């Protein structure tokens, strides 16, 4: 049978129904109708709600890996930010601690300067403010070096006080600095007055097993001395103004081999931590001359004898 005589239509088994163009037109019209109907009458809302409810578990399950990956990224990012914030906070804390220490030191220094000014008003004597530079290098003496000297009007023998009381005495003077011997030096002595009893004595620097301080020597065993008595300057030595606090008695004991007491005193001044001091003018330089001392007499005056001329 020739090929031209064969029927080119598909057999009934593979028959596809309407053409594709017809289906396109029908479904397009149906879609347009549904959109218009949904816009005007919301007929597709229940369908969308039902489909959303049915598909929600599947959507949740599919989104879990994405959320896990995002959460892991946020975790590591947050951890890095937290570590960076902690390091920054530690740096700020260290800076604030340093600033707090400086503020505390400045506050303490300011308070000591105020107390020093109060002590200056109490003494009513000419004084020069000075700053302690360093301790003297001699290990067998107790001395400090201050930043005032001859060019500033410092003289040897001037009393030195801090905001608590007598600190020592100027023993060496240089052009730009001076050396101050502290009260606790073993070669230093200062006349003192017991403010409770009015008894005068002399306090010597003492370095013993119980530490550094002052000692009242040659005090009889029956003397009226008690622990806690305040010792001040007497003013009779012509160096220290009267009434400056010197020390406080902390121990009174008896010597077995002597008739004198063993009296230990604690200096009121900061002998190991003074930063600013006042150098006073010795009392002897401020006193008027004694009327009992007459000025030295000069050579007697002789009258001039006129010469006579011969006529």
Q: What is the pLDDT of residues 168-218, one digit of tens each?
A: 999 999 999 999 999 999 888 999 999 999 889 999 998 765 668 899 888
Is 165 a residue whose pLDDT tops 70? yes
Report phi then psi at 204, rounded to 5.
Answer: -110, 150
Write the CB contacts of 163 (distance below 8 Å, at least 6 apart in sequence). Answer: 112, 113, 114, 115, 116, 118, 119
Provide mean pLDDT across the span 133-150: 88
Residues 6+ apart with CB under 8 A from 217: 202, 204, 260
Q: Where are the alpha helices (DSSP H) in 124-161?
A: none
- Token digits for 211? 């530490």
Q: Is 127 helix (H, G, I), strand (E, B) or coil?
A: strand
pLDDT category at 308 given cuts 50, 70, 90 is very low
Among 129, 246, 131, 117, which residue's Cα sits nearest to residue 188? 246
- Give me the pLDDT at residue 180, please: 94
Residue 233, pLDDT > 50, answer yes
HSE on the CB side for 247, CA within 13 Å?
Answer: 30
Smallest Cα–Cα separation from 214: which of 173, 170, 267, 167? 267
Q: What is the pLDDT of residue 88?
A: 85
Regarding beta strands 189-194 and 211-216, do their DSSP bridges make them parallel or antiparallel, or are they unpaired?
unpaired
pTM comes to 0.58
Residue appearing with tokens 């006529």: 311
Contact status, residue 266 vs residue 205, Cβ threshold 8 Å: no
Give the per-residue pLDDT at 167.
92
């Amino acid at each position: 049978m020739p090929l031209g005589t064969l029927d080119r239509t598909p057999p009934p088994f593979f028959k596809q129904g309407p053409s594709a163009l017809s289906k396109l037109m029908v479904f397009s019209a149906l879609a347009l109708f549904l959109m218009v109907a949904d816009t005007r009458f919301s007929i597709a809302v229940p369908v969308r709600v039902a489909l959303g409810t049915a598909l929600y578990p599947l959507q949740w399950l599919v989104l879990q890996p994405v959320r896990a990956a995002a959460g892991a990224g946020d975790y590591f990012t947050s951890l890095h930010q937290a570590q960076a914030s902690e390091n920054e906070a530690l740096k700020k804390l260290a800076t604030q601690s340093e600033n707090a220490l400086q503020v505390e030191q400045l506050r303490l220094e300011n308070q000591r300067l105020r107390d020093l000014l109060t002590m200056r008003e109490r003494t009513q004597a000419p004084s020069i403010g000075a700053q302690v530079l360093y301790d003297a290098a001699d290990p067998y003496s107790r001395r400090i070096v201050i930043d005032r000297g001859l060019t500033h009007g410092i003289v040897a023998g001037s009393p030195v006080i801090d905001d608590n009381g007598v600190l020592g005495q100027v023993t060496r003077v240089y052009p730009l600095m001076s050396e101050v011997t502290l009260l606790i030096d073993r070669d230093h002595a200062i006349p003192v007055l017991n403010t409770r009893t009015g008894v005068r004595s002399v306090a010597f620097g003492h370095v013993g097993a119980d530490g550094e301080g002052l000692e009242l020597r040659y005090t009889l065993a029956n003397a009226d001395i008690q622990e806690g008595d305040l010792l001040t300057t007497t003013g009779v030595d012509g160096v220290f103004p009267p009434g400056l606090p010197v020390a406080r008695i902390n121990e009174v004991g008896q010597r077995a081999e002597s008739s004198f007491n063993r009296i230990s005193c604690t200096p009121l001044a900061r002998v190991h931590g003074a930063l600013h001091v006042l150098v006073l003018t010795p009392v002897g330089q401020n006193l008027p001359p004694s009327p009992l001392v007459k000025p030295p007499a000069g050579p007697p005056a002789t009258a001039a004898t006129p010469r006579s001329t011969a006529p």
